[in-house]
Amino acid sequence: MVHRDLKPANILLDQNYTSKISDVGLARLLPPSVADQVTQYRMTTAAGTFCYIDPEYQQTSMLGTRSDIYSFGILLLQLITAKPPMGLTHQVERSIETGTFRQVLDPSIQNWPIDEALRFAKLALTCAELRRKDRPDLGTVVLPELNWLRAFGEENTQQFAVDNNVGTSSSHDRVSVQDIRSGPLHQQSGYQSSSQFSGSSIN
């Protein structure tokens, strides 16, 4: 299954802050022979949202199993920068090259763990490679790395809560991550969806 239109507006959060992918109207189920044996499949027309669409798919209408990986990479970069998607990969790459990576991170978050944030950003940049063949595999590369980073984040969030006398979980005698995350959600301007091709999705 290739979604073809991954973007912040199509990622919803439930009451437990679990993400749900929505708006699957453009999704395509690749034939089993295609998904198992080859990496791309020709569609008659390209569809998606500007700044998130796989560049190769946009140019050739060749839909691949890693087409969504590009969109996912842009999403990851937005998560840590709170910036619009236009030119975001270049901004982050440039900040890493010039040693100003800290300045590109979301300023509303204090005390960023720079080493881990940099690791996250580099993963996102590999996902957002222009050439599909240069993007990492979701199952063997991306998810294991994200799971490691999530574990790091949860461990440090719990420690932060302990240091600040936040209540602990009665069942595990550990700080509840959900308690820490509770509170009103707010929308960052950088997460607003960008304009689409010709003002709308292309079918």
The whole-number mean pLDDT for each consecutive block of 10 residues of the chain, a chain of 203 residues, reads 79 88 68 51 61 82 83 95 96 97 95 95 97 93 95 81 54 41 42 39 36
Please tell me the distance from the alpha carbon of residue 41 to that of residue 31, in angstroms, as a whole number: 9
pLDDT value, residue 46: 60
Please tell me the distance from the alpha carbon of residue 102 to that of residue 90, in angstroms, as a whole number: 15
Task: Summarize pLDDT for 119-130 with one digit per residue, the tens.
Answer: 999 999 999 999
pLDDT value, residue 163: 64
Please tell me the distance from the alpha carbon of residue 142 to that of residue 113, in angstroms, as a whole number: 20
Helix (H, G, I), strand (E, B) or coil at 99: coil
* pTM as predicted: 0.68
Mapping DSSP onto H, E and C, the string for 51-79 reads: CCCCHHHHHHCEEECCHHHHHHHHHHHHH
User: How many Cβ atoms are within 10 Å of 177's Cβ, its own excluded?
Assistant: 16
pLDDT value, residue 189: 38
Catalytic residue among 5, 14, 23, 36: 5
Token pair of 194, please?
A: 């960008």
What is the DSSP code (8-state) at residue 166? P
pLDDT value, residue 187: 43
Please tell me the distance from the alpha carbon of residue 6 to that of residue 28, in angstroms, as a whole number: 13
pLDDT value, residue 102: 96
- Has 5 been annotated as catalytic? yes
Please tell me the distance from the alpha carbon of residue 146 to that of residue 139, in angstroms, as a whole number: 11
